[in-house]
Amino acid sequence: MFVLGAFAQQKPAKNKLVQFSGLITDVDSNRVVPYVTMSNLNTNEQRSANYKGYFSFVAHPGDTIVYTAVGFTKTQVVVPQDLTEDKYTAMVKMQSEIVYLPTVNIYPWATAEEFTKDFLSMKVADDDMEIAKKNLSRQSLGGMAQTLSRDAGEISSINWRLNHDRALNKNMVQTNPLLNPFAWGKFTQQILNGDKSRSDD
């Protein structure tokens, strides 16, 4: 009876469950890789890591987990079979997949004939002096002043002048003439006396 009871308490290795947890990072920069898809090849189950690259799910010892993500190569991790505990933690490193695309040159001409036509009709200055005169002309400088954005020095100078004017005129409050009693008294006196300016004319 004792031997049979001890044999019944032993669980088969294939039915043992392990809490598999870990963190997925990039092998080059050690940055977390979010939302990685994890596929268990033994049970055909799929799970996904969170936005911080953390995952935790139940697996069996000996299961093969495949990690896939956009821009990274596939990575496989096998859960060890000789685990003494019911939990297993791993740091999964994924290699970024670099795809070298061929160089593409973009031209504003659809055909070689259009390029030849524009090249022959192009006006080129004789020397650098003509180019400098054209760039420093009144029309060119005026157009650049209207289109170019202000740099940090100009913005700082304008802000300093505005703050200086506000500080100088802080105590100079302009009064409203409609609220001036002397102006109302003068206006009433002109009404009572009549418009002498027009009568004199």
Domain 2-94 belongs to what topology?
A: Immunoglobulin-like (2.60.40)
Q: What percent of the chain has pLDDT over 90?
A: 34
Cα–Cα distance, 37 to 184 (Å, whole number): 82
What's this model's pTM, rounded to 2 decimal places? 0.46
Is residue 113 within a helix (H) or strand (E), and if so which, with residue range?
helix 112-120
Cα–Cα distance, 119 to 108 (Å, whole number): 12
Task: Please write the tens of the pLDDT for every residue from 133-186.
Answer: 888 888 888 888 888 887 888 888 888 888 888 888 777 666 677 778 888 888
Cα–Cα distance, 138 to 23 (Å, whole number): 63
Helices (H), 58-151: 112-120, 128-135, 138-147
CA atoms within 13 A on the CB side of 141: 5
> Does residue 33 contact residue 72 with C-beta atoms inside 8 Å?
yes
**pLDDT for position 126:** 65
Complete edge-to-edge strand list for the sheet that includes strand 45-48: 45-48, 37-40, 64-69, 72-78
Helix, strand or coil for residue 28?
Answer: coil
The domain limits of the chain are 2-94, 102-172
**pLDDT for position 106:** 83
